[in-house]
C-alpha cells in the first residue's frame, strides 16, 4: 500500500522583483499511516510553502517547478482542479496558524462545519455528527457551540474547532501549519495535548509544521529539518534531538531557550543569516554560517542515506 | 476538559430587528419607511379621492376638512395624489435599485473572485458607465426610447449598477485573500460555493446600506426628471409632477409646492436613517463599536 502522503523532488519558486526565489528545493518526504512527521526550521526556510504545496494551494506568484505530491499514490498536481478539490478536505485536510481569522465571521460554527462536510458528502453534515466531532476535540457543551459565531469563541476554542473541521471527513492526511504559534502558552499546551490524544484515535498521517522545538519533541515520530528550502536532515525524534548530525540541526537545537543553561545569562544564536534565496551559492547553503566547514563544502553537499528515513545533506557525514 | 472553559457564558445573540429598534435614528427611519410602504401598498383604499378626477370648481383650495392637503390647479385632491405618488416613487425606486443591486452584486463578485482578464473587462465596463454624466445620459436614453416608467427604470439601473459592482468587487478582492477563504479552499470548496456561501454574506451588508441610502437619491431623480417632464407622464400623480404643476401656480397657491415637498423630504430622511441604523446593526463585528 502506498503512503498517504509522499512528496517527490518538489521544487517551488516565487517570482519576485529581484528574480526567482527558490522557496522549496528538491524536497522528498513521505509519511506513513499513524505517523506524525514534524517539519522544523527557522522563519523563511520554506516550511509553510511546503505545507501549502502539499494541498496545492500556493499563494499568487508561486510556481511548482518540478516534482509531485502523491496522496495515497495519486499525484495531486497532475489532477484537474475539480479532482483536486475533491481530495482537499476529503483525503488531505489542513489546520492553519491563526484560528482568529480561519473562520467566516458571518456564519455560525455549526453552519461552517456543516458546509465543510457538505462540500463532499451532505449526509455527514448532520448536527449529531458535528456535535460528536466537537466533543472529540474537547469542547464542553458542544451542542451549544453550533449556534455560536466565531467571534464569540476564544483562540484556543477556535483552534479546537478548526481541528474538528479538519477531521470531519476523516482525512488520510492532516497537515497542521504552525497550529500553536498564534496561541498563548496555556492554550498551546492544551492544543498539544489534544493533538497527542488524537494520535491514538486518528489513523491517518499527520504533518506538523513548526519552529517550536517543544512541539516537535512532544508530538512527532519523525522530523525533517529544513534550511534554505532544503531538507538538511531527516530522522526520528530521538535521532534528531540526541544524535543530530547536520551542523545546522545542532546549532538550532543549541538555541532552544528550553535547553539553554540559565546561569550563562546569554541566549546562543546562529551567527550570520539565511542566504539570499534568489541567488543561492553553488555549494552548501549553510556554508557561511557553519563552524565546521570544509573546503569541499563549496561543492553541492551529498544526501547521505544512513538508514530508511534517516538522511543528512552534508559533506561531513560519512555513510 | 477544564472547568474554566465551562464557566464562560456568552450573552445570547440579539436579533437584528431588536437591535434596530433600540437605536432611535434607526427606529425613526424604520417607522417612516414602513409608513411610506403602507401608503404605497394601500393607496386605493386610503386615498380619500380619485387622484386624477378633475373638479375645476374647487381648484387652488387651501387645506380644509374636505381636502386635508388642499387641491391643485385642476381641483384634484392633493393628499390623494401624494398617496398615489408614493406608489409610483417607491415602486420605481425599489424596482430599479433592486435590479441594479442584483446586477452589481453578481458582476462585482465575478469580477472580484474570477480570473484577471474578466475582472479587467468588467472594470472597463463599470468605469465607462460611470464616466457618463447621469443627467445627460438620462436625457439621451429618454430621447431615444421616449419618456415613461420603463425607460426611467432602465436609466436608473444603467446609471447606478456600476457603483454597487465596484463596492462589491473591492470587498470581494480584499476578502478573497482572507484566511477563512483559504481554509475553505483547503477543505475542498469550489468557486461557486465560495462566492455564494462565503463571500456573498460578507459583502452584502454594506450593499444593503448603500441601497437604503440610494433609494432617496432615486426618488429625487425620478421627481427631478418628472419635474422636467421627462419622467412619469402627467396626469399620473408623481411627486415630481405635483411639484412641477405646483411651481406654475406658486403665486396663487403656495401650499401645493410646500405640501408636495414634505413626502420627498420625509422619504429621503426615512431611508437614510434606516440605512444608517442598519449599518450599525448588520455588521456582526461592529457590535463592539458602541463601547469604544
The answer to which of A35-44, A268-277, B10-19 has the lowest mean pLDDT is B10-19
Instruction: Return the pLDDT at B11.
Output: 39
CA distance B169 to B171: 5
Over residues B192-200, the mean pLDDT reads 86
What's the average model confidence in pLDDT over A291-299?
87
Closest residue in chain A to residue B288, using alpha carbons only = A151
Query: Which of A290, A310, A312, A107 is CA-nearest to residue A230?
Result: A312
Domains of chain B: 34-283 (1.10.3720.10)
Average pLDDT over residues A69-94: 89
Instruction: Kindly report the number of other CB atoms within 10 A of residue A272's CB atom.
Output: 11
| ipTM here | 0.76
Q: Do residue A103 and residue B6 have CB atoms under 8 angstroms apart?
A: no
Residue B287 in this model has a pLDDT that exceeds 50? no
In this complex, do B190 and A82 lie within 8 Å of one another by their Cβ atoms?
yes
Asked if A101 lies within 8 A of B179 by C-beta distance, the reply is yes
- Per-residue pLDDT reduced to its tens digit, B243-266: 888 888 888 878 888 888 888 899
Nearest CA in chain A to B200: A106
Handedness of CA A127, A129, A133, A138 (dihedral sign): positive
H-run or E-run covering A132: helix A127-136
Note the pLDDT of residue B1: 38
Q: Is B183 on the interface with A (CB under 8 A)?
A: yes
Phi, psi angles (nearest 5°) of residue A171? -70, 165
Q: What pLDDT, on the 0 to 100 scale, is given for residue B13?
A: 45
Indicate the pairing of strand A19-31 with strand A74-75: unpaired
Chain A residues with beta carbon closer than 8 angstroms to that of B198: 104, 107
Contact present, A39 and A51 (Cβ < 8 Å): yes
The pTM assigned to this predicted structure is 0.74
In a domain, A69, yes or no: yes
Region B143-166: mean pLDDT is 88
Averaged over A169-193, what is the pLDDT? 86
Residues A236-272: pLDDT tens digits? 999 999 989 999 999 888 888 777 777 777 778 888 8
Count how many Cα atoms sit within 13 Å of the Cα of residue A95 in the half-sphere of its side chain.
30
Query: Please, are residues B270 and B86 in contact by the beta-carbon 8 Å criterion?
Result: no
Exposure of B276 in the CB half-sphere (CA atoms within 13 A)? 12
What is the distance in angstroms between the Cα of B14 and the nearest Cα belonging to chain A? 12
List the CATH number of the domain containing A208: 3.40.50.300
Considering only the beta carbons, identify the residue of A86, A90, A102 that sits closest to B179.
A102
* Element (DSSP H or E) covering residue B131: helix B116-131
CB burial class (10 A; 0-12, 13-18, 19+) of residue A263?
exposed
Find residues 173-232 of chain A whose CB sits inside 8 Å of chain B: 190
Task: Characterize the bridge pairing of strands A303-307 and A310-313.
Answer: antiparallel
Range of the domain at A210: 5-91+171-313
Q: What's the confidence (pLDDT) of residue A206? A: 92
C-alpha cell at position B150 = 420603463
Q: How many domains does chain A have?
A: 1
* Shortest alpha-carbon distance between residue A140 and chain B (Å): 6
Which residues from chain A sit within 8 angstroms of residue B190, using beta carbons?
82, 85, 119
Q: What is the pLDDT of residue B15?
A: 62
φ, ψ at B114 (rounded to 5°): -75, -175
Which residues between 20 and 59 in chain B have a beta carbon less than 8 angstroms from any beta carbon of chain A?
none
- CA-based end-to-end distance of chain A: 29
Return the pLDDT at A10.
Answer: 93
Residue B277 has pLDDT above 60, yes or no: yes
CB contact under 8 A, A105 and B284: yes
Residue whose cell numbers read 545542532: A250
Give me the residues paired with residue A304 across strands.
A312
**Residues of chain A neighbouring B180 (CB-CB closer than 8 A):** 101-105
In a domain, A149, yes or no: no
Amino acid at each position: 500500500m502506498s503512503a498517504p502522503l509522499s512528496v517527490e523532488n518538489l521544487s517551488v519558486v516565487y517570482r519576485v522583483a529581484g528574480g526567482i526565489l527558490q522557496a522549496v528545493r528538491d524536497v522528498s518526504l513521505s509519511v506513513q499511516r499513524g505517523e506524525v512527521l514534524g517539519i522544523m526550521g527557522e522563519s523563511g526556510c520554506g516550511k509553510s510553502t511546503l505545507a501549502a504545496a502539499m494541498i496545492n494551494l500556493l499563494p499568487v506568484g508561486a510556481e511548482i517547478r518540478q516534482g509531485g505530491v502523491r496522496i495515497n499514490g495519486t499525484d495531486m498536481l497532475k489532477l484537474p482542479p475539480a479532482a483536486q478539490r475533491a481530495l482537499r478536505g476529503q483525503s488531505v485536510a489542513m489546520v492553519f496558524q491563526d484560528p482568529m481569522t480561519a473562520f467566516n465571521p458571518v456564519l455560525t460554527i455549526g453552519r461552517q462545519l456543516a458546509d465543510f462536510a457538505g462540500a463532499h458528502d451532505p449526509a455527514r453534515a448532520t448536527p449529531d455528527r458535528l456535535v460528536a466531532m466537537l466533543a472529540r476535540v474537547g469542547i464542553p457543551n458542544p451542542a451549544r457551540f453550533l449556534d455560536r459565531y466565531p467571534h464569540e469563541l476564544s483562540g484556543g476554542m477556535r483552534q479546537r474547532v478548526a481541528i474538528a473541521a479538519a477531521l470531519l471527513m476523516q482525512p488520510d492526511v492532516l497537515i497542521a501549519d504552525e497550529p500553536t504559534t498564534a496561541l498563548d502558552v496555556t492554550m498551546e499546551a492544551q492544543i498539544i495535548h489534544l493533538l497527542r490524544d488524537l494520535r491514538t484515535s486518528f489513523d491517518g498521517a499527520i504533518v506538523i509544521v513548526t519552529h517550536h522545538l517543544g512541539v516537535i519533541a512532544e508530538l512527532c515520530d519523525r522530523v525533517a529539518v529544513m534550511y534554505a528550502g532544503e531538507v538538511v536532515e531527516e530522522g526520528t525524534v530521538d535521532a534528531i534531538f540526541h544524535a543530530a548530525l547536520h551542523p545546522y540541526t545542532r546549532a538550532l537545537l543549541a538555541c532552544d531557550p528550553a535547553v539553554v543553561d540559565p546561569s550563562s545569562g546569554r541566549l546562543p544564536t546562529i551567527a550570520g543569516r539565511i542566504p539570499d534565496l534568489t541567488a543561492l551559492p553553488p555549494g552548501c547553503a549553510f556554508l557561511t554560517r557553519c563552524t565546521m566547514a570544509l573546503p569541499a563544502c563549496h561543492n553541492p553537499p551529498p544526501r547521505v542515506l544512513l538508514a530508511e528515513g534517516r538522511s543528512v545533506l552534508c559533506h561531513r557525514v560519512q555513510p | 476538559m477544564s472547568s474554566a472553559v465551562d464557566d464562560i457564558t456568552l450573552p445570547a445573540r440579539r436579533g437584528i430587528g431588536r437591535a434596530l429598534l433600540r437605536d432611535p435614528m434607526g427606529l425613526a427611519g424604520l417607522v417612516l419607511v414602513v409608513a411610506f410602504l403602507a401608503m404605497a401598498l394601500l393607496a386605493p383604499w386610503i386615498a380619500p379621492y380619485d387622484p386624477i378626477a378633475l373638479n375645476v370648481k374647487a381648484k387652488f383650495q387651501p387645506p380644509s376638512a374636505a381636502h386635508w392637503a388642499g387641491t391643485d390647479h385642476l381641483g384634484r385632491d392633493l393628499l390623494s395624489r401624494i398617496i398615489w405618488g408614493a406608489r409610483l416613487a417607491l415602486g420605481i425606486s425599489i424596482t430599479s435599485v433592486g435590479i441594479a443591486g442584483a446586477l452589481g452584486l453578481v458582476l462585482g463578485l465575478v469580477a472580484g473572485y474570477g480570473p484577471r482578464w474578466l475582472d479587467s473587462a468588467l472594470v472597463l465596463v463599470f468605469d465607462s458607465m460611470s464616466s457618463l454624466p447621469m443627467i445627460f445620459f438620462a436625457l439621451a436614453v429618454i430621447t431615444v426610447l421616449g419618456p415613461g416608467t420603463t425607460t426611467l427604470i432602465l436609466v436608473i439601473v444603467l446609471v447606478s449598477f456600476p457603483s454597487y459592482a465596484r463596492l462589491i468587487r473591492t470587498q470581494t478582492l480584499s476578502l478573497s485573500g482572507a484566511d477563512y477563504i483559504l481554509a475553505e479552499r483547503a477543505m475542498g470548496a469550489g468557486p461557486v460555493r465560495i462566492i455564494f456561501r462565503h463571500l456573498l454574506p460578507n459583502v452584502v451588508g454594506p450593499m444593503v446600506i448603500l441601497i437604503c441610502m440610494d433609494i432617496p437619491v432615486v426618488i429625487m431623480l425620478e421627481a427631478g426628471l418628472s419635474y422636467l417632464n421627462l419622467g412619469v407622464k402627467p396626469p399620473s400623480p408623481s411627486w415630481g409632477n405635483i411639484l412641477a404643476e405646483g411651481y406654475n401656480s406658486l403665486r396663487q397657491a403656495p401650499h401645493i409646492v410646500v405640501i408636495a415637498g414634505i413626502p420627498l423630504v420625509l422619504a429621503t430622511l426615512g431611508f437614510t436613517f434606516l440605512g444608517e441604523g442598519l449599518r450599525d446593526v448588520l455588521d456582526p463585528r461592529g457590535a463592539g463599536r458602541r463601547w469604544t
